[in-house]
Amino acid sequence: MATDLVHVVDDDAAMRDSLAFLLGTEGFEVRLYEAGTELLDRLSKPATGCILTDIRMPGIDGLELLRHLRIAGHKLPVIMMTGHGDVPLAVEAMKLGACDFIEKPFGDEALLQALRSALERGGPAAAADPSLREFVRRVGTLSERERQVLDQLVAGGTSKEIGRALDISPRTVEIYRAKLMAKTQAENLQDLVRWSVLAGIA
C-alpha cells in the first residue's frame, strides 16, 4: 500500500540504515535521504506516506524542512526525531504542523506506533478529536501550582529551572509533575507536550 511509505531524513548514515532495516522488516516501504534538500528535490507531487526526520541537521534542519514542505503544498504527516532536552524545538515543530515527535533514544515499538498513527490520521490531529477535548477538561482540574508546572514543562524547563522560576525545590517540582501527569493521564512528557500543543496550551 502506498500509504505505508516512510521518507526517512537523517544526516547520520548509521541511523538511516538501522531505521531502514527496522521499518523494512515491519513491512514499510522506506526511502532514505541524507538531507532535507534531497527530500525536497526528490519528493513527487502529490506525495504519499509520511516523513520521519531528525530535528537537528546541518544545512536545513527539521523545522526549516517542515516550513519548506508546507510552503510547497505538501500535506504529508511529519514526525520529528528530537534529542534529549529539545522540548522547545518539539513544541515549535508541532505548532508548524508536525503531527508528532519522538525523543531519541526511542524504542522500536514507540516509533512504529507513532508512524502507524501518523499514517492513519494523515496529518495533524483535529481539534474536534474527543480525546483532545477530554485532555482540555483534565487540564481544567489542575491546581494553580500544577498548571504553572505544566506551562514550564511544555516550555522545556528542567525540574531545577522550574524550581528556580517558581521558588520551590526541584523535589517539589517532581511531586507536582507526578500529580499533573496523573490528572491529565499523559503517558510521558512527549505525550503531555503533544496534547498541550494540539490543545493550544503550549
Boundary of a domain, candidates 67, 86, 121: 121
Q: Do both 14 and 75 map to the same domain?
A: yes
Q: Do both 86 and 44 map to the same domain?
A: yes
Give the side-chain half-sphere CA count within 13 A for 147.
10
Chain CA centroid to CA 169, Å: 29
**What's the order of all strands across the beta sheet hosting 50-54?**
29-33, 5-9, 50-54, 78-82, 100-103
Asked whether 12 and 20 are in contact (CB, 8 A), the reply is no
Boundary of a domain, candidates 94, 121, 148: 121
Averaged pLDDT, groups of 10, the chain, 202 residues long: 80 95 95 95 87 93 93 90 83 88 89 89 59 90 96 91 96 96 91 86 78
Tell me the C-alpha distance between 70 and 151, whole Å. 28
Identity of the residue numbered 13 = A
Q: Do both 19 and 110 map to the same domain?
A: yes
- Exposed e or buried b for every residue in 155-188, given b needs 16+ CB within 10 A? bbbebeebbeebebeeebbeebbeebbebbebee
Q: Do both 24 and 81 map to the same domain?
A: yes
CATH number, domain of 12, equals 3.40.50.2300
Q: Do both 162 and 92 map to the same domain?
A: no
Boundary of a domain, candidates 121, 146, 181: 121
pLDDT of residue 123: 54
Tell me the C-alpha distance between 130 and 127, whole Å. 8
Chain CA centroid to CA 69, Å: 17
Q: Do both 104 and 138 map to the same domain?
A: no
Q: Which domain holds residue 193?
A: 130-198
pLDDT of residue 2: 44
Beta strands 29-33 and 5-9: pairing type?
Answer: parallel
